Amino acid sequence: MVLNELGQRISNALAMVNNAETIDEKVLDACLKEITTALLQADVNVKLVMNLRTNVKVRANNADKGAGLNKRKIIEKSVVDELSSMLSSGLDEKQLVDLKKGKPNVVMFVGLQATGKTTTCTKYGAFYKKKGFKPALVCADTFRAGAFDQLKQNATKMQIPFYGSYTETDPAVIAAKGVDEFKKANHDLIIVDTSGRHKQEESLFEEMRQVAAQTKPDLIIFVMDGSIGQAAHDQAKAFKDTVEVGAVIMTKMDGHAKGGGALSAVAATQSPIIFIGTGEHMDEFERFEAKAFVGRLLGRGDWRGFVDKIQEAVPDDETKDDIMDSLNKGNFTMRILYEQLANVQKMGSVGQIMSMIPGLSNSGLFSKDKEKDSAARIKKFMTMMDSMTNKELDSSDIKLWQTESRIMRIARGAGVHPQYVGELIGEYVRIRTMIMGPGKGKGKGIMQQMGK
């Protein structure tokens, strides 16, 4: 089962609890049965699934004892907490991501062949380059023909210096030379790409040990294909047992990724997932945070991820603070929607970005399968917003949109049928209610649920 489907099924199971008139044992059991079945079909380790089931049940039963507690909320929160803790290693992942400037950080990448290791090395370098680091790439993969050329091509595209050799056959020698050279040139992030194999075998592990011994990496990152499911557990463990894996990057979390791989790998390595790859392009790479990931999985969006993306795309923009400020004040205006859509357009993959925005991920605005249609719809919506007055853009008063002449004026200005303006307003109201809650922004929307 792919991730989207898993999220949808868990959301539906939680909706059963939300829609039930009273929550008795039967309703809770039915909900948990659906969640556990979905997780097992997504290839999550059975032990982890059973733990989740027991823990949610215990918390729900405890809720019965407490007076005035909202059982629905407790069940939902415990499912979210349990999923998040499955995905958390308990270690301080931020510390692994916040590399220190001014010293050469040597980061070695390991993983099986075709997991996306070489692509990920470059994405990783590009991520830190945007943050002001001076990255460099070393190709210590002498096993796969064409590995050096591939790294060269990626590195050139992202304007990152690289090192490799067509003649030297000992990867440990190349790695040592490359790291040495880049240290002398004052690079503060030296990324070493190592060989993979189709399967785990001793020669690969021996090579990894030698490269690690020669380069003394500050961090070893295990790259894993997010679509492999259950096998992830054993694979991650085998790598962890050979070298000091400090962090995990899951690739191919777009499309057909199974949730189970991610969940099981964290448990096996006790190392946090720090980034995920969400496509073949260089910018399809994101920070991973368990809570936010679960939020997105359940269709609730991930404000922080979205806001980080904005900052990456427009580093000096004050948009981030403005949006956060406004949302914290309970004010989701039409202008915020406009700015979000504009940012979505600026940032590339519409699907990837929209899935981060609470409310938009499962709105009619966005169709995962029809990226082009989504982009066209966004454009049309923005054209209509361009015809709005400042007062209209800055108000979050829904009553404003009950005036027919207003709708007609905007439709004329944008050259569209009034029906489309109605559609835009409908979408705005729906997203606003979802984020801020019903009423004037003081209800139980996503912002409140996130404890903002």
- Examine residue 278 and tell whether it contacts ligand GDP (CB under 6 A): yes
Q: Near ligand GDP by CB under 6 A, which window of 99-107, 265-273, 279-287, 385-393?
A: 279-287
Q: CB nearer to ligand GDP: give 249 or 292.
A: 249
Q: What share of the chain is helix, strand, coil (3-state, %, to 5)?
A: 55, 10, 35
Name the minimum Å distance from CB 122 to ligand GDP.
8
Name the minimum Å distance from CB 211 to ligand GDP.
15
Q: In the set 82, 93, 207, 254, which binds ligand GDP (CB under 6 A)?
A: 254
Q: How many H-runs (helices) and E-runs (strands) does the chain carry?
A: 21, 8
Q: Return the SS3 of 302.
A: coil
Q: Per-residue DSSP letters for 42-72?
A: TT--HHHHHHHHHHHHHHHHHHHHSTT--HH
Q: In the set 116, 125, 164, 217, which binds ligand GDP (CB under 6 A)?
A: 116
- Examine residue 185 and tell whether it contacts ligand GDP (CB under 6 A): no
Q: In the set 11, 51, 113, 200, which binds ligand GDP (CB under 6 A)?
A: 113
Q: CB nearer to ligand GDP: give 255 or 438.
A: 255
Cβ contacts of 277 within 8 Å, gap of 6 or more:
116, 119, 120, 123, 226, 249, 250, 251, 252, 253, 254, 284, 285
Q: CB nearer to ligand GDP: give 46 or 114.
A: 114
**Vertex 406, ends 403 and 407: CA angle to 5°?**
90
Q: CB nearer to ligand GDP: give 60 or 273.
A: 273
- Examine residue 261 and tell whether it contacts ligand GDP (CB under 6 A): no
Beta carbons of 314 and 320 less than 8 angstroms apart:
no
- Examine residue 283 and tell whether it contacts ligand GDP (CB under 6 A): no
Q: CB nearer to ligand GDP: give 115 or 374.
A: 115
Distance from C-alpha of 267 to C-alpha of 88, rounded to nearest angstrom: 8
Beta carbons of 424 and 385 less than 8 angstroms apart:
yes
- Examine residue 281 and tell whether it contacts ligand GDP (CB under 6 A): no
Q: Near ligand GDP by CB under 6 A, which window of 36-44, 247-255, 419-427, 444-452?
A: 247-255
# chain residues binding ligand GDP, by CB under 6 A: 19
- Examine residue 377 and tell whether it contacts ligand GDP (CB under 6 A): no
Other Cβ atoms closer than 10 A to 289: 22
Q: Near ligand GDP by CB under 6 A, which window of 25-33, 117-125, 240-248, 386-394?
A: 117-125
- Examine residue 213 and tell whether it contacts ligand GDP (CB under 6 A): no
Tokens found for residue 293: 């990931």
Q: CB nearer to ligand GDP: give 188 or 283.
A: 283
- Examine residue 119 and tell whether it contacts ligand GDP (CB under 6 A): yes
Q: CB nearer to ligand GDP: give 269 or 278.
A: 278
- Examine residue 227 and tell whether it contacts ligand GDP (CB under 6 A): no
Distance from C-alpha of 292 to C-alpha of 29, rounded to nearest angstrom: 26
**Vertex 122, ends 215 and 267: CA angle to 5°?**
75
- Binding characters for ligand GDP, 121-150, by CB under 6 A (x = yes): -----------------------------x
The residue whose two tokens read 């915020």 is 336
Name the minimum Å distance from CB 104 to ligand GDP.
23
Q: Return the SS3 of 23.
A: coil
- Examine residue 115 and tell whether it contacts ligand GDP (CB under 6 A): yes
Name the minimum Å distance from CB 228 to ligand GDP.
13
- Examine residue 299 and tell whether it contacts ligand GDP (CB under 6 A): no
* Strand extents, DSSP E, 86-174: 105-110, 135-140, 162-163
Q: CB nearer to ligand GDP: give 189 or 224.
A: 224
Distance from C-alpha of 342 to C-alpha of 331, rounded to nearest angstrom: 19
Q: Return the SS3 of 399.
A: helix
C-alpha count within 13 angstroms, C-beta hemisphere, residue 273 = 35
- Burial of 13-29, coded b for 16+ CB within 10 Å and e otherwise, reads bbeebeeeeebeeebbe
Strand order in the sheet with 273-277: 162-163, 135-140, 189-194, 105-110, 219-225, 245-251, 273-277, 285-287
- Examine residue 114 and tell whether it contacts ligand GDP (CB under 6 A): yes
- Examine residue 287 and tell whether it contacts ligand GDP (CB under 6 A): no
- Examine residue 207 and tell whether it contacts ligand GDP (CB under 6 A): no
Report the interface residues with ligand GDP, using CB under 6 A: 111, 113-119, 150, 196, 251-252, 254-255, 277-280, 284
